[in-house]
Structure 1
Amino acid sequence: MNLPKIKNFPFTSVLGWSVSRYDVFKNCKRQYFYSYYSKFDREIPLSKIQKLKSLTSVALETGNIVHDSIRDLLVRLQKTSKPISRPNFLRYVAKMAEEYCNSKDFCEVYYKQRNSVTAQDLIPQINRIIENFLTSKRLKWIFETAVPESKNWIIEPGGFGETRINNYKAYCKVDYLIPVGDKIYILDWKTGKRDEQKHSRQLIGYSLWASYHFNTNAQNITSTVVYLSPAYDEYTVNLTDEMLAQFQQQVEDETKQMYEYLQDIENNIPKEKDCFEKTDNEFFCKYCNFRELCKNNF
Structure 2
Amino acid sequence: MPRTIKQFPFTPILGWSASRYDLFSICRRRYFFHYYAKYDKENTVRRLNRFKGLVTLPLETGSIVHEVIEALLGRLRSTAEAIDRPRFLAYADQAIARSLTDKTFEEVAYGLLPEVSAADLQPKVHACLENLLGSDRFRWLVEEAAPASGEWIIDPPGYGETRLDDLKIYVKVDVLFPLGDLIHILDWKTGKADPAKHRKQLVGYATWASTHFDIPPERVRPTLAYLHPAYEEVHESVDAADLEAFAVLIRAETHEMYEYCRDIEQNIPLDKDAFPMVDDERVCAQCAFRGICYPAQYPVNL
Q: Is the Cα–Cα contact under 8 Å of residues 36 and 269 in structure 2 kept in the other structure?
A: yes
Q: Give 1:4 deviation, angstroms.
A: 4.4
User: Structure 2 vs 1, CA of residues 27 and 102 (structure 1 numbering), >3 Å: closer, same or farther?
Assistant: same
**Structure 1 position 257 matched with structure 2 position 252:** no
Q: Tell me which amino acid in the other structure corresponds to 1:122.
A: L
- 1:196–1:235 CA contact under 8 A, matched in 2: no
AA of the residue aligned to 1:224: T
In the aligned structure 2, how far is the partner of 1:185 from the partner of 1:195? 21
Task: Give the corresponding residue for 1:134.
Answer: 133
Aligned to 1:276: 275
**Counterpart residue number, 1:122:** 121
- Any idea what SS the aligned residue of 1:224 has? strand
The list of structure 1 runs, each at least 4 consecutive aligned residues, that deviate by more than 6 angstroms after superposition, is: none
1:241 matched to 2:243? The reply is no
Paired positions, count: 297
SS of residue matched to 2:8: coil
Within 5 A, what are the aligned runs for 1:175-254? Answer: 175-254=174-253
3-state SS of the aligned residue for 2:177?
A: strand
Q: Which whole-Å deviations, capped at 9, do the CAs of 1:152-172 have from their partners, x for residues lacking one?
A: 000011111111113200001
8 A contact 1:166–1:252 mirrored in 2: no
Letter paired with 1:266? E
- Per the alignment, residue 47 of structure 1 pairs with 46
Task: Give, in whole Å, the separation in 2 of the partners of 1:124 and 1:114.
Answer: 18
Q: Is the 8 A contact 2:107 2:113 kept in 1?
A: yes
Q: By how many angstroms is 1:80 displaced?
A: 1.0
Per-residue deviation, 1:211:
0.5
State whether residues 162 and 172 of structure 1, in contact with CA within 8 Å, keep that contact through their aligned partners in structure 2.
yes
**Residue 10 of structure 1: CA displacement?**
0.7
SS of 1:263's partner is: strand
Distance 1:64 1:7 in 2: 26
Equivalent in the alignment of 2:163: 164
Partner of 1:61: 60
User: Residue 92 of structure 2 aligns with which residue?
Assistant: 93
8 Å CA contact 1:102, 1:118 repeated in 2: no
* Native 8 Å contact 2:216 2:240 kept in 1: no
Distance 1:17 1:283 in 2: 26
How far does residue 116 in structure 1 lie from its aligned partner after superposition?
0.1
- Paired with 2:242 and 2:10, the residues of 1 have a C-alpha distance of 30
**1:282 & 1:200 partners in 2: Cα distance?**
29
**SS of residue in 2 equivalent to 1:223:** strand
Distance across 2 between alignment mates of 1:199 and 1:159? 23
1:37 corresponds to which residue? 36
Structure 1 counterpart of 2:67, one-letter code: D
Counterpart CA distance in 2 for 1:17 and 1:199 is: 17
- Counterpart CA distance in 2 for 1:281 and 1:139 is 42
Gaps of 5+ in 1: none
Matches of 1:49 and 1:236 in 2, distance apart? Answer: 38
TM-score (normalised: structure 1)? 0.97
**RMSD (Å) for aligned C-alpha atoms:** 1.2
Structure 2 unaligned segments of length 5 or more: list them: none
Residue identity (%): 45
Contact 1:185 1:223 (C-alpha < 8 Å) held by counterparts: yes
Q: For 1:153 and 1:220, how far apart are their aligned partners in 2? A: 16
Structure 1, residues 120-154: CA drift from partner, whole Å, max 9, x if none?
Answer: 22112211111111101110110111001100000
- Quote the residue 1:286 is aligned against: 285
- Alpha-carbon displacement from aligned partner over 1:218-252 (angstroms, at most 9, x marks no partner): 11100000001111110002113332221110110
- Give the drift of 1:284: 1.8
* Deviation by residue 1:17-68 (Cα, 9 ceiling, x = unmatched): 0000000001100010001000100011111100000000111111111111
Give secondary structure in 1 for the equivalent of 2:225.
Answer: strand
Tell me how far 1:194 sits from its aligned partner.
0.1
Partners of 1:184 and 1:285 in 2: CA distance: 40
